Chain A
Amino acid sequence: MKDRIFRVNMTNLETSIEEVPGHWAGLGGRALTSAIVAAEVDPLCHPLGPSNKLVFAPGLLSGTVAANSGRLSCGAKSPLTGTIKESNAGGTAAQMLARLGCKALVIEGRPVEDRWYSLHVTPGGVSISEETELVGQGNFAVVNAVHERLGEKHGVITIGPAGEMLLLAANISVKDPDGKLRSHGRGGLGAVMGSKRVKFIAIDPSDSQIPLADPDAFKAASRTFAKALLEHPVSQTLGEYGTDILINVVNEAGALPTRNFTKGQFEGHDAISGETMHELIKKRGGKVKHFCHRGCVIQCSQVYNDKEGKYLTSGFEYESIWAMGADCCVDDLDIIAEADHIMDDIGIDTIETSVAMGVAMEAGVLEFGDGPEALRILREEIARGTPLGRIIGNGAASVGRTFGVTRVPVVKNQAIPAYDPRAIKGIGITYATSTMGADHTAGYTIATNLLNSGGHVDPLSKEGQLELSRNLQIATAAVDSTGMCIFTAFAILDDESCLPALIDMINARYGTSLTADDVTALGKKVLKTEREFNLRAGFTPVHDRLPEFFSREAVPPHNVVWDFSGQEIDAFWDF
């Protein structure tokens, strides 16, 4: 089916389908969401007002048989950071949208009346219906309702109560192949969807095949690519232990932010580690391996059961476990899993919310380590939108401002994730300079600083960090545009056959003749487009800084501070 742009105007409740303009034809995923937002959204607009646009775009290879290509990009101006935002998720939606020929779904405007709606994406376009029954319901109830109304094969993109309440940590959830959820976690995009009054989007299943310019070349390249992924040892440990395998190695390196970023090692690390999770899953009859979309050969996800062997959560990630675990000093994996499930249902980012909880602990709202109270706050305060719930649900910076806390780990208002930038300096450059606010995935220097993938750059030295972060941010912007999972990057960094195979697949899909230089150029263009939007939104180089406490307070065990000058950081953009 031919690729087109699907548009939904929530002000006049009209929909349309457009041809893809020539200059967007070679774009997908993040490159496309950022191009559309930069071209059509006033950088000075209120992110929750009618001028913002919410854009979903499958990657360039989504919907094909290419391994690990089912990632969906979601973009808008972020209400949390005020910057442009692209947040990336698995689930079934990217592949389904691509097969419907939907290169991008653009939701604009805002209803005048106080009503909620749902969207239904079909081969003929998008229809809008008023929604009453599911307003106020959690994400799992929405998925069940769509299954009952339309059938279990439909895709679902949904917001929970957090998105309806326009909380700045609200996420957007995407149904996975088992009817569970993956999330466009960061940047409060759930609030943007809520501001458009769209409770959920249902997507028609389709048997359509993605057209390929050169099917034979595609087949050959996709085999090489899948082989490179499968044979990389990272893929194997990720499948066995999940991303939570990182707890022990980051703790060992003294870079696991603990007790609201006051320490680099957590006494309870073993209890929340990937190794412990692996044992518990096997003992309780869960699933060690699980995929977020069909065609994933890594399968880093898992199904985690409670003590009685009943489903508790899935897609139980390192970042979520670190944030509610080490950062809040909760050393009980079952409590963290329950928190994960509640946050999935409310539709709120596990990183932002748990880091906000850590700041609330420092403020004395609750004690460090008090997991049961954290669960109560999630259920009774955030889910119900009490004043305390809204303060925490608006993120770490909101909690810091409200309670006068000065140790607030955010960049551009977005919570810093699971690696202390004082002890792993490359990631500090990424946090400071990312066009998205603090975001580890934007340029994952942990691969090279810590895990020896793509060489090794000493995490405690300043040397080489700027170049490392820059090169990875450029490469990531390109990979995020292909629909590929970011975990393909380990094989891309280490296996010489992997990147050429990826480029060959794109060429065989579209009949293009891109080279590796073109891919680098695409990554640079994406970053520059996003940076330009942020500059027009009023951001300046002084926003590319880490919070002051990182320079003043040394973090044990290495007792190191953040010691990059502003001038040194600003050189990041010299490309």
Chain B
Amino acid sequence: MQVKVKLFAGFRDGRFKERLLELEDGSSVRAVVKSLGINQEDVGVTMLNSRHCSLDSRLRDGDILAIFPVIGGG
């Protein structure tokens, strides 16, 4: 299956801004984070199709996954 993965802030350094990834069916968000070499503790927010999701959420073909570090502002 294919999932569009979007990275933000420092997660883009040495990786990418946006990319279609070929994944095994039923892969979890955690597996994607791990495969990208991102430290789980550095992850602040993950969104699947514009809704918050957990690291254990399962991905489906055509999903859009956004991964943000811990951020703030206002």
A-side residues, CB < 8 A to B, are 233-234, 237-238, 240-246, 248-249, 252-254, 274-275, 300, 318-319, 440-441, 444, 446-447, 450-453, 456, 458-460, 486-487, 490, 557-558
Q: Find chain B residues with CB under 8 A from A300 CB.
A: 73
A382 CB, min distance to chain B CBs, angstroms: 26
Which residue of chain A lies nearest to B49 when distances are taken between CB atoms in the complex?
A557
Asked if A244 and B73 sit within 8 Å, CB to CB, the answer is: yes
The answer on a CB contact under 8 Å between B70 and A233 is yes
Question: Interface code B1-31, partner A: CB below 8 Å = 1, 0 otherwise?
Answer: 0000010111010000100000000000000
A245 to B51, CA, bound (A): 18
Contacts of A254 in B (CB 8 A): 50
B73 near A242: Cβ-Cβ < 8 Å? yes
* A234 close to B50 (CB less than 8 A): no
B52 interfacial contact with A, CB 8 Å? yes
With beta carbons under 8 angstroms apart, the residue of B9, B44, B45, B50 that contacts A274 is B9
B residues near A243, Cβ cutoff 8 Å: 73-74
8 pairs across A/B with beta carbons < 8 Å?
A: A233-B44, A240-B10, A245-B8, A248-B8, A252-B68, A447-B74, A452-B70, A453-B72
Task: Enumerate chain A residues within 8 angstroms of B66, measured Cβ to Cβ.
Answer: 249, 252
With contact pairs A249-B45, A451-B45 given, residues A440 and B74 touching in the complex (Cβ less than 8 Å):
yes
Contacts of A241 in B (CB 8 A): 9, 71
Q: Are B12 and A275 in contact (CB under 8 A)?
A: yes
CB-defined contacts of B72 to chain A, threshold 8 Å: 234, 237-238, 447, 451, 453, 487, 490
Cβ–Cβ < 8 Å partners of B74 in chain A: 243, 246, 318-319, 440-441, 444, 446-447, 486-487
How many residues on the B side are at the interface (Cβ–Cβ under 8 A)? 21
Residues of chain B lying within 8 A (CB to CB) of residue A245: 8-9, 71, 73
Indicate whether A249 sits within 8 Å of B50 (C-beta atoms), given known contacts A318-B74, A441-B74.
Answer: no
Q: How far is the CB of B56 from chain A (nearest CB, A)?
A: 14
A237, B52: Cβ atoms closer than 8 Å:
no
B47–A253 CB distance below 8 A: yes
Nearest Cβ on chain A to B59's Cβ, whole angstroms: 16
> How far does the alpha carbon of A319 sit from the alpha carbon of B74 in the complex, in Å?
7
Distance of A274 Cα from B8 Cα, bound (Å): 10
**What residues of A have a CB within 8 angstroms of the CB of B68 in the complex?**
248-249, 252
Quick check: A234 and B71 within 8 Å, CB to CB? Answer: yes
In the complex, the answer to whether A252 meets B6 with C-beta atoms within 8 Å is yes
Within the complex, the shortest CB–CB distance from A263 to chain B, in Å, comes to 13
A residues within 8 A CB of B73? 238, 242-246, 300, 318, 487
- A240 partner residues in chain B, CB cutoff 8 A: 9-10
CA distance A451 to B72 in the complex (A): 7
Assembled-state Cα–Cα distance A456/B47 (Å): 13
A460 cross-chain contacts in B, Cβ below 8 A: 51
Quick one: closest B residue to A242, CB to CB?
B73
- Give A557 to B64 CA distance when docked, in angstroms: 14
Complex CA–CA separation, A318 to B70 (angstroms): 17
A444 CB contacts on chain B under 8 angstroms? 74
Q: Which residue of A lies closest to B72 (CB)?
A: A234
Q: Point out the residues of chain A lying under 8 angstroms from B10, CB to CB.
A: 237, 240
Max count, chain A CB within 10 A of own CB: residue among B12, B52, B73: B73
Given contacts A249-B45, A452-B45, A456-B52, contact A237 B70 (CB under 8 A): yes
Residue of A nearest to B74 (CB): A444
CB pair B50 A452 closer than 8 Å: no
Is B69 a contact partner of A237 (Cβ separation < 8 A)? yes
A237, B71: Cβ atoms under 8 Å?
yes
Q: Is the CB of A275 within 8 A of B70?
A: no
**Which residues of chain A are near B44, meaning CB under 8 Å?**
233, 451-452
Nearest-Cβ distance from residue A310 to partner chain B, whole angstroms: 26
Bound-state CA distance A441–B47 (Å) is 24
Within 8 A of A (CB), among B45-69: 45, 47, 50-52, 66, 68-69
CA distance A337 to B21 in the complex (A): 36
Minimal beta-carbon separation of A192 from chain B (angstroms)? 25
Instruction: Indicate which residue in A234, A440, A441, A486 contacts B70 across the interface (CB closer than 8 Å).
Output: A234
Shortest B52–chain A CB gap in Å is: 7
Q: Is the CB of B9 within 8 A of A558?
A: no
Q: Which residues of chain A are within 8 angstroms of B70 by Cβ–Cβ distance?
A: 233-234, 237, 451-453
* Chain A to chain B: the 8 pairs with minimum beta-carbon distance, closest first: A243-B73, A234-B72, A233-B70, A246-B73, A237-B71, A490-B72, A252-B66, A254-B50
Complex: A274 Cα to B12 Cα, angstroms: 13
Looking across the interface, which residue of chain B has its beta carbon closest to that of A265?
B50
CB pair A557–B50 under 8 Å, yes or no, is yes
What is the bound-complex CA distance between A233 and B10, given in angstroms? 12
Instruction: Say which residue of B12, B45, B50, B71 sits within 8 Å of A558 (CB atoms).
Output: B50
Residues of chain B contacted by A318 (CB below 8 angstroms): 73-74
Known: A237-B70, A318-B74. A253 touches B50 (CB 8 A): yes
In the complex, the chain B residue whose C-beta lies closest to that of A423 is B50
In the assembled complex, the Cα of A94 lies from the Cα of B62 at a distance in Å of: 53
Chain B, Cβ-Cβ closest to A419:
B74
Decide: B52 and A458 in contact? CB cutoff 8 A: yes
Report the bound CA distance from A275 to B10 in whole Å.
9
Contacts of A451 in B (CB 8 A): 44-45, 70-72
